[in-house]
Amino acid sequence: MPARNEEKNIERCVKSVLQQDWHNLELVVTNDRSEDATGDILAGLAAHDARLHVIDGEQLPEGWVGKGWAVYQAHQAAQGTWVLLLDADTELEPGAIRTVVRYAQQQRIDFLNPTPQFINRSFWEKTMKPVLWGLVMTRFPMLWVNLPFLKENMAFGPFLLIRKSCYDAVEGHRHVCHDILEDVALSRLIKGEGYRTRLINGRHLFKIRMYDSFSGLLEGWIKTAYGAMNYNLLLMSLAVLGLFYLALFPFVGLALSFSGWGAALAPAALAAVTALYTRRVIDGFRFRFGAISLLMHPLAMVVVQYMQAAAVWRFYFGQLTWKGRAYQPRLEMQKSLHAPDD
């Protein structure tokens, strides 16, 4: 578990792990040079449970992204047959570890990625996260990414179960160290090496509250939006245009038809809006999202379009920030391509 400035979440997360009914459990947490009370909280928890090992993270090396480096350090101390990479803002349900390990063993899976139950409390969380998750599932449908003969893969980083022999064989995060979307890069690397990977619905296994502020939500999704498109400018451009025509233009067309400017657009616009909301309602029931996101859908899509544009701009001309660190992902990727193997 990597932990940087997680004083709000770390105790709840650690306790949910240590309360699991797994017979031979160790929890290795890298305190990634936190500037808040994270280290003190971890020290107090470790004093009462010998299964918790806390590592003080070393200085971030050139070419590495912070989370990948923190996980890589923790992995050096891990002894188990299975490695569970877990974010500090998650909370496991009772029996979650036993359930996923047994499932992976029975299905002979090397890399298992359950998706969470999202906790949304603020207006912007309820407005944006259902839309964003719907876009993720549109970009990476489970049936599609789970096909073993396709190179495409997806991972949602807060909960990744990996067979340790598999993780060791690909040298952990070493070969994806530069990628700010390191979870997806790792999943593609592992699948490309011929290991069995699977994405499943895991809302009964754990829950997570990501980005409890609007600024944090913007920062978090901007840093990942371009990576989800493989850093491909053409693919990203098509996604921006596609989202506008599929998710915003139907509302514009409907408004124009009611105003008398585009009556001919009414049937097509109404059909598009109906199809869009049908999909949104299905996602709402499936992932237990509230109704406010349906009402605020046009607003959410405007914000998404801003995120996409900002992600591309910062990749080429600026920098991405996360947890108080600034990255220039384009330069880091170029460095990694020319770095000699050691």
Q: Tell me: the pLDDT tens digits for 161-185? A: 999 999 999 999 999 988 888 999 9
> Which of 221, 224, 217 is closest to 179 using CA atoms?
224
Tokens representing 328 are: 């220039």
**71 compared with 295, residue with greater pLDDT:** 71
**283 compared with 189, residue with greater pLDDT:** 189
**147 compared with 293, residue with greater pLDDT:** 147
> According to the model, what pLDDT value does residue 285 have?
78
pLDDT digits (tens, 9 = 90+) for 102-147: 999 999 999 999 999 999 999 999 999 988 988 888 888 898 999 9
The residues, any chain, with a CB within 8 Å of residue 237's CB and separated by 6 or more, are: none
> According to the model, what pLDDT value does residue 340 have?
47
Query: Is pLDDT above 90 for 240?
Result: no
Q: How far apart are CA 70 and CA 158, in angstroms?
A: 14
Q: Where are the alpha helices (DSSP H) in 49-163?
A: 66-77, 96-107, 123-139, 142-145
Q: How far apart are CA 298 and CA 328, in angstroms?
A: 31
* Mean pLDDT computed over 22-37: 95
> According to the model, what pLDDT value does residue 287 have?
72
Mean pLDDT over each residue of the chain, to the nearest integer: 89
Fold of the domain built from segment(s) 2-212: Spore Coat Polysaccharide Biosynthesis Protein SpsA; Chain A (3.90.550)
> pLDDT-based confidence at 188, cuts 50/70/90?
very high
Q: Where are the domains of the chain?
A: 2-212, 233-338
With residue 241 as reference, give the H or E element that holds it. Answer: helix 233-243
> According to the model, what pLDDT value does residue 278 have?
83
* CB-facing half-sphere around the CA of 103: CA atoms within 13 A: 19
Which sign does the torsion angle of CA 43, 45, 48, 53 carry?
negative
> According to the model, what pLDDT value does residue 333 have?
65
